Structure 1
Amino acid sequence: MSFDEALLDDEDALLRRDGQGLLWALATAGAQVRRAIESAEEFGLDRLRGELPRALLIATDAPPSVTVRVVTRLSCEQAPALAWHGVQLPRWAGPADALLIGAVDGRHPRLVALAEQGARRGLAMAVVAPQDSQVAAAAGRAPVHHLATDLNVRAFRWAVLTPLLQALDALGVHAVPPALLHEVADALDQTAEVCRPGSDLFTNPAKALAAEFADTQPLIAGAGALAGVAARAIADSLQLCAGVPAVAVSLPDGMARAGAVLRGAGPSPIGTGDDFFRDRTDDVVRERGRLLVVGDDGTADDPELGPRSGAQIQLDEVAARRAAAALHALAAELGLRSSSVDVPQGAPLARFAAAAAFGDFTAGYLALGLGLDPGAATPGELPH
């Protein structure tokens, strides 16, 4: 499938080909966050304030669920958090525990059953679902944040995630005050402005990276806790929107796998030896790798990256950045291109938001350049 690079500089053609309006929908992410902030009182989260839950269960109907990964990552320091995919709550779950449900569709029978069980067993519960949906009704007296019904299937992340983060704050599991959410909204707006369809390929980093990903093997590496989640989010978007088999790793633990991917994505034909007179029509050429690193900008002990213990900085941030530097060096040694996601300084959650949004725009432009509609649902996705 050939890539139409000229299309990326034609705003009208881009919007015509974007049949589901994904690029426009992605630009509303900041507005989704602000809507959740403005409707916080209607959510009724005061009912969740009390003792810290013994454990936290999170269930959604949005595959792949970056929402679940963010919530579990933020929760793990205060309470064990589990992504729950079963149709029944675990036997041990009861009034000492909490359940968070994000239902984009609102009709998923598994989430309906979990909400009914959570209400019956007395778990502290918060639900995000469309108004008058089956999941919302099953929540009983638990706080319910009502989703808009016109959300794009690929652009509803912050409409679901923001209320769940507000619930984390109310439960005392992780502090997510309104000021932090406003910072997230500003980061999303800034990314949408930089990556807007009307800017040309040379000034729009998402368009430029999409053109590079068109004929390479994308490797997305996250250097740090939420950076690893952002790397996975970017790879998910590239796979869902453009059908590109991107690989995501978290550093430093994923260093060996990332190095193997880079070494295995070189341009050399397989099994050719030194036979100059071989028939080159039989050569198998592998795609060259393209490394993108999230979270290795700045310094590990920058106070703007949020309060962390010395051990966390040393074991997580420093080690991850060293691994990222080694990957950049390996890519250069192999003659492969590499770069880092340029996100604004600030709280880790805001930086995550900017990086993940950049990946969404990149995936959208890559799909459009390949002649695909990036917002079209694929088999297994939620119907809208």
Structure 2
Amino acid sequence: MLPAVAASAAHVRTGYRAAVEAGVAERLSGHGRPRAVVVAGVGASAVGGDMLAAVAGNGAPLPIVRLRSYQLPGWVGATDLVIAVSGSGSAEETLSVATQAVRRGCSLLGVGAPHSPLEAVATQASAPYVAVPVSGESRANLWLLATPLVVAAAGLRLAQADADLFERVAKSLEDMAHRCRPSSESFINPGKSLAMDLAESLPMIWGTSSVTSAAAYRLACQLHTNAKYPAIYGELPEADHNQVVAFDGPMAERDIFADTSGRALRLVVLRDVDEHPQVKRRREASVRLAHDRGVPVTELAAEGVHPLERMATLIGLADYASTYLALGYAIDPTPVSAITELKARISP
């Protein structure tokens, strides 16, 4: 898993090149701007939709809907664009939505493995398809799958994204790989440091903007799949209307006389420069509230100018921290046996 995470920068460059060679921007812009964009995917493949929405931001001139299910909403029709993303190209939920989109006459863009069932659906519909060289676990190929979506957003004039941006993102991920290399000691390795913070705690991970919320969700999912570790995902201001009450609950209590430190709540806040003023006030007040109740807090700040750059700094860190946490517990981060068993149980 560590070499796979270290390949993120190369994945950005490969994903961008594959999208350009597939003519994504030109083919989508030729149809005019759709009424809405629906991004269909599950698991790690769905995170690209969150990233696309964050890049487009609140100023997007059309709704961007993320769909993690089998059924295309009834309102989606011929004037809408459906982007189907599947690392394997065979996720049953995504194939179901892509097939429905073709039947309804929607515009379709597919992103996934070459020579896959999803590519067959796109080819039959004469729709663009970005074939990316996915290998290993889909979650380790996030940037291969997400980069073509941002290229598509640029083609639809939903975001500013060019070759220079993707190169900056790749360099940022390379820098993270260097700082988080296995030979780097824990006190200077941000991935190992975050893993040590999270160990023996129940992380409650909050985002404060669309950018950091996408990264917060990614961190929670990576903790689940890599470290087989529970985590709670939230987003401000919503988390201040429910999750904050956990600061007064049993998971926030600590017995200072106990021989060992039991698992207890830890608040992890992902900050952004693009926070609503009231969200910033809520974040600061929430952190003070946690400190007042003895709940430890980890704050991580997104770095960079463009939303995609800022997501890269946090997602890169999340991928390393979750892997190091798994290794700290002597867990192999690569297999997901529970998911494999579940799929076997529901297969016809």
Q: TM-score range by the shorter chain?
A: 0.7 to 0.9
Q: Distance in 2 between matches of 1:378 and 1:78?
A: 42
Superposition map of 1:61-210 within 5 A: 61-62=42-43, 65-75=46-56, 77-87=60-70, 89-140=72-123, 141-210=126-195
SS for the counterpart of 1:290 is strand
Q: Equivalent of 1:48, from 28, 41, 52?
A: 28
Query: Which of these two proteins has the greater Rg computed from alpha carbons?
Result: 1
- Aligned-residue Cα RMSD (Å) equals 2.7
Cross-structure match for 1:29: 8
Shift of 1:90: 4.1
Distance 2:212 2:288 in 1: 20
Deviation at 1:159, TM superposition (A): 0.8
Give the Cα–Cα distance (whole angstroms) in 1 for the partners of residues 93 and 217 of structure 2.
25
Q: Relative CO higher for 1 or 2, CA cutoff 8 Å, sep ≥ 6?
A: 1
Q: Give the corresponding residue for 2:346.
A: none
Deviation at 1:252, TM superposition (A): 2.3
Asked whether the equivalents of residues 266 and 286 of structure 1 are also in contact (C-alpha less than 8 Å), the reply is no
Q: Deviations over 1:69-94 (max 9, x none)?
A: 22344456221222334545445433
1:100 partner SS: strand
**1:113–1:292 CA distance, 2 compared to 1 (3 A):** closer
CA deviation after TM superposition for structure 1 residue 200, in Å: 0.6
* Rounded Cα–Cα distance in structure 2 between residues aligned with 1:114 and 1:256: 33
Corresponding residue for residue 267 of structure 1: 253
TM-score by length of 2: 0.86
What secondary structure is seen at the aligned counterpart in 2 of 1:95?
A: coil
Q: Distance in 2 between matches of 1:235 and 1:88?
A: 25
One-letter amino acid of the structure 1 residue matched with residue 199 of structure 2? A
Where in structure 2 are there 5+ consecutive unaligned residues?
A: 344-348
d(CA) in 2 for partners of 1:286, 1:320: 32
Counterparts of 1:342 and 1:197 in 2: how far apart (Å)? 23
Contact between 1:119 and 1:142, CA under 8 Å: does it hold in 2?
no
Letter in 2 for 1:30: A
- Quick check: 1:187–1:351 contact (8 Å CA) kept in 2? no
CA distance in 2, matches of 1:88, 1:209: 38
In 2, the alpha carbon distance for the partners of 1:128 and 1:29 equals 17
**Range with greater deviation from structure 2 (340-349 or 208-217):** 340-349
The structure richer in helix per residue is 2
**C-alpha displacement at 1:209, in angstroms?**
2.1
Matching residue of 1:19: none
1:226 aligns with 2:221: no
Note closer, same or farther for the CA distance 1:61–1:345 as it changes in structure 2 (3 Å cut). closer
C-alpha displacement at 1:372, in angstroms?
A: 0.5
Cα distance, 1:116 vs structure 2: 3.9
Work out whether residues 78 and 106 of structure 2, in 8 Å CA contact, stay in contact via their aligned partners in 1: yes
- Name the CA distance, whole Å, in 1 between partners of 2:119 and 2:69: 19
Question: 1:68, 1:40 → 2: CA distance?
Answer: 16
How far is the alpha carbon of 1:361 from its aligned partner? 0.9
- Give the total of aligned pairs: 334
